[in-house]
Chains A and B, each alone.
Chain A
Amino acid sequence: MAQTQGAYYVPHGSHWPIFGSLGMLGTLGGAALWMDDFQIGKLVMAVGIALMIVMFIGWFHSVITESVAGKYNKQVDVSFRLGMIWFIFSEVMFFGAFFGALFYTRMLSIPWLGGMGHGGPTNEFLWPAFTAAWPSNGPDAIGGDFTVMSPWGIPLLNTLLLLSSGITLTIAHHALRVGHRARLLTFLGLTVVLGAIFLGFQVYEYYEAYHHYNLTLGSGIYGSTFFMLTGFHGAHVTLGAIMLCVIWARSAAGHFSRNDHFGFEAVAWYWHFVDVVWLGLFVFVYVL
């Protein structure tokens, strides 16, 4: 089992990583097969996802067991913190690629297609009828006419929901720090509920976009950036909400003490990160 090496803690070997690699191969290989119209892909992907889920449950189970047994020291705690911080940084950069695509197309490629700067000949010879504007689905109007979401309806509501969820989460954290378990569980639960309502509205918004606004993933560059940014954000909210549920269960089981609750903090950091990404989305995708 886990051992200490003198002053240090070094965990014992684990079969979960290789399990996870197989799951990842199944998930992505299955997805690739499915995309190329092999029906077996669905099955392969389902098996892969199942393996991944089992891996995460098993891996976190052993980490939590070791943590609750008090095997981790301060140094392990700092390593976990650094790991989570840099993981979130990598996520920021991932969203950065899609925000970069949004800014590049809005500020450069659309104006160039409309004849700005050295884009003159492109506009004159290929698409003389095109004038630069945003939102746009490009000179060929790919996907046909569409209407964009008003930022002041559901998106504003969603902004308020996520911001409130950040507040409820902070209240829960304070409750944890003063040892007020009932308040901790209430406000943590409230955070999950707010996240779930957010996701519900997001699904409703997608439904509206597809069925009443003709705004789809295929609506040129606007549809591409809109759905990829909000879609990846939604996926992260989903993941964050699942993590919050786990943390709720762990809080209920009394895993956290006033001064030692890194699991809680990591999930809180992640949730705030998802909040901040949403603010960027609200400003640059919906409002501007």
Chain B
Amino acid sequence: MAAVNPAIHQDTHDIHDHKPHGFLHRWLFTTNHKDIGTLYLVFSLAMFFVGGAFAMVIRAELFQPGMQLVQPEFFNEMTSMHGLVMIFGAIMPAFVGLANWMLPMMIGAPDMALPRMNNWSFWILPFAFLMLFSTMFMPGGGPQGGWTMYPPLALQGGMNVAFSIFSIHMMGISSIMGAINIIATILNMRAPGMDLLRMPVFVWSWLITAFLLIAVLPVLAGAVTMLLTDKYFGTSFFNAAGGGDPVMYQHIFWFFGHPEVYIMILPAFGIVSEVIPTFSRKPLFGYQAMVYALACIAFLSFIVWAHHMFTVGMPLGGNLFFMYGTMLIAIPTGVKIFNWVTTMWGGSLTFETPMLFACAFVILFSIGGFSGVSLALVPADFQYHDTFFVVAHFHYVLVTGAAFAIMAAVYYWLPKWSGHMYSEKWGKVHFWSSAISVNLLFFPQHFLGLAGMPRRIADYNVAFAEFNMISSIGGFWFGLTQIIFVGVIVHCVFFSRVRATGQVWEGSHGLEWTLPSPAPYHSFSEPPVITAGMLAHGDVSR
């Protein structure tokens, strides 16, 4: 499909509107993709610290065996809220924020396709989290059944059930609108010449992610609606006595949940595919293979959900199907890992902060991938299920995977956003401190899990004491390190005097680098002319 020809000129040319004046007017009513992107990113950073604070409570309680700081109910509240806040408040909005900032610039558009809906997608989020956090101050406290909210446990909560379910509905509406906007933008706003198979990999990753979001978030909405009616309106969806099945919730939930984990990693793949070529000073190796691998992973994500529930007592055929399906995912993921490594092979590498985060991503995400393959094996999973091994696995893919990629993206594009260079020295301090502490935090959890320590338990056998203490120390260290991250960002945006050039990085290619830094308020007022040499992955038009 060729790009839409935007040669249609409007005669209703009013004022060339630049930044609106007035704080409220600019941030509350904005339709500008950069302002909305900034809102998303700032919100996500705030939620990263809130969710991080919850994690600190967890690690503090687990520092030693025995009950020291909090009540078990509050501990369970912390694990549940940490999951919900990090997934729906930190990781997803960060990626949407990056999409808002970068997609129009990368495809040569002035803004997103549906700018007003874009504003609404963001402005639902703070209200959704207001509702979610309010449950912590209600009688009975916030949700304590885990972020997955399995019935019947989750339904035994008090007032929080209705409020947390409605807040999830709001987050879902927000994400669906965001995803619709992103698809419409990518399909409709590309500059002439920006064919689908010439788009930057980050754009591709978001096109596929947006499809996943629209496909599965309504399913989550359905699942939690059934929870709500089971508790308040006497339905029997998850009640075996009425002919339903609590395991059915897990099926519906993970039909959403598994694509959801790829929603949180595909844009990370896209970011790393932008960063590595820049600092290797080589075009991306195997561009088309990368794109097809993304599509392949997205397809497989729909048929592997029950690997989260091998121990619930599914028929053997079910377990086998989901085991083999899950192991298949290692193939396209391997394609991606090898292509990143091959991109670096023979390149003239430099290791600025974004590249450090991207390299750490490739290595540490692979570790998370390996533990994922172990978990995919049904017999092994019978031992690993619901232990800290699972916690270690998904934190390797979500923290050193998704969060590291987000940090790489922030360092990579921050000069383009702000017009100033960040402090490379403090960026590197942030990276090394994060990379060391995060391994101290999560690597011992593999051993804890293999030794049988269950997750979501506030107290544990003294046999697990040492590794837990090491993990907690790593946790506090990692948490404190992120203050450096904020410091670097604040310094870069408000105090840095080093002006960034348009291209910013010596090896950077792509439309976003043809704009001055900081990028103009409306990215491209006229569709740019695209030449093959501009693109990060080189000329792929044969």
Contact = CB atoms under 8 A, between A and B. Distances in A.
B251 A104 contact: yes
Overall SS of chain B's interface: helix
Contact of A94 (B10, B20, B222, B526): B222
Contacts of B397: none
A98 interface: yes
A22 B218 CA distance: 22
A91 B184 CA distance: 17
Interface string A81-120: 0110011011101111110110011001110110001100
Contacts of A234: none
Given A5-B111, A83-B181, A86-B180, A221 B127 contact: no
A138 to B, nearest CB: 3
A127 to B, nearest CB: 8
Given A78-B4, A82-B183, A218-B234, A13 B31 contact: yes
Contact of B131 (A2, A28, A69, A122): A28
A281 B244 CA distance: 19
B73 interface: no
A77 B296 CA distance: 31
Contact of A90 (B131, B217, B234): B217
Contacts of A8: 6, 109-111, 525
Interface in A116-141: 117-118, 122, 136-140
Nearest to B174: A21
A24 interface: yes
Interface in A1-49: 1-18, 20-22, 24-25, 28-29, 31-32, 35-36
A118 B316 CA distance: 10
Interface stretch (B117-125, B193-201, B375-383, B410-418): B117-125
A193 interface: no
A212 interface: no
Contacts of B313: 118
Contact of A93 (B167, B187, B219, B236): B219
A109 B244 contact: yes
A113 B20 CA distance: 63
A20 B240 CA distance: 39
Contacts of B525: 5-8
A228 interface: yes
A269 interface: no
A164 interface: no
B14 A1 contact: yes
Contacts, number: 267
A142 interface: yes
Given A3-B15, A25-B130, A10 B31 contact: yes
Nearest to B30: A13
Nearest to B13: A4
Contact of A75 (B4, B13, B15, B124): B4
Contacts of B214: 86, 89-90, 93
Interface in A207-235: 216-218, 220-225, 227-228
B315 interface: yes
B542 interface: no
Contacts of A25: 127, 130-131, 170
A96 B217 CA distance: 11
A35 B162 contact: yes
Chain B CB count within 10 A is highest, among A32, A35, A71, for A32
Contacts of B170: 24-25, 28
B127 A24 contact: yes
Given A75-B6, A109-B243, A101 B237 contact: yes
A216 B4 CA distance: 52
A286 interface: no
Contact of A9 (B10, B130, B251): B10
B25 A13 contact: yes
B223 interface: yes
A79 B188 contact: yes
B243 A110 contact: yes
Contact of B8 (A20, A29, A73, A91): A73
Interface in B190-245: 214-219, 221-223, 225-226, 229, 232-237, 239-245
B242 A91 contact: no
A86 B31 contact: no
Interface in B148-190: 159, 162-163, 166-167, 169-170, 173, 176, 179-181, 183-185, 187-189
B308 interface: no
B502 interface: no
A7 B233 contact: no
A70 interface: yes
Given A36-B159, A220-B236, A228-B226, A22 B110 contact: no
Nearest to A89: B214
A100 B216 CA distance: 13
A15 B313 CA distance: 52
A270 to B, nearest CB: 15
A59 interface: yes
A112 B314 CA distance: 11
B222 A90 contact: no
A223 B120 CA distance: 36
A7 B29 contact: no
B115 A101 contact: no
Chain B CB count within 10 A is highest, among A4, A8, A16, A138, for A8
Contact of A69 (B12, B13, B179): B12
B114 interface: yes
B243 A105 contact: yes
B315 A118 contact: yes
- Top 10 closest pairs, chain A to chain B, by CB: A97-B222, A138-B243, A6-B525, A221-B243, A17-B120, A218-B234, A109-B245, A94-B218, A224-B235, A13-B29
Interface of A: 1-18, 20-22, 24-25, 28-29, 31-32, 35-36, 59, 69-71, 73-75, 78-80, 82-83, 86-87, 89-91, 93-98, 100-101, 104-105, 108-110, 112-113, 117-118, 122, 136-140, 142-143, 216-218, 220-225, 227-228
28 contacts: A4-B9, A4-B10, A7-B9, A8-B111, A9-B10, A10-B522, A16-B120, A17-B29, A20-B120, A21-B123, A31-B162, A69-B12, A73-B6, A86-B179, A96-B222, A98-B222, A101-B252, A109-B244, A113-B243, A117-B315, A122-B240, A137-B242, A138-B239, A142-B241, A218-B233, A221-B244, A224-B236, A228-B226
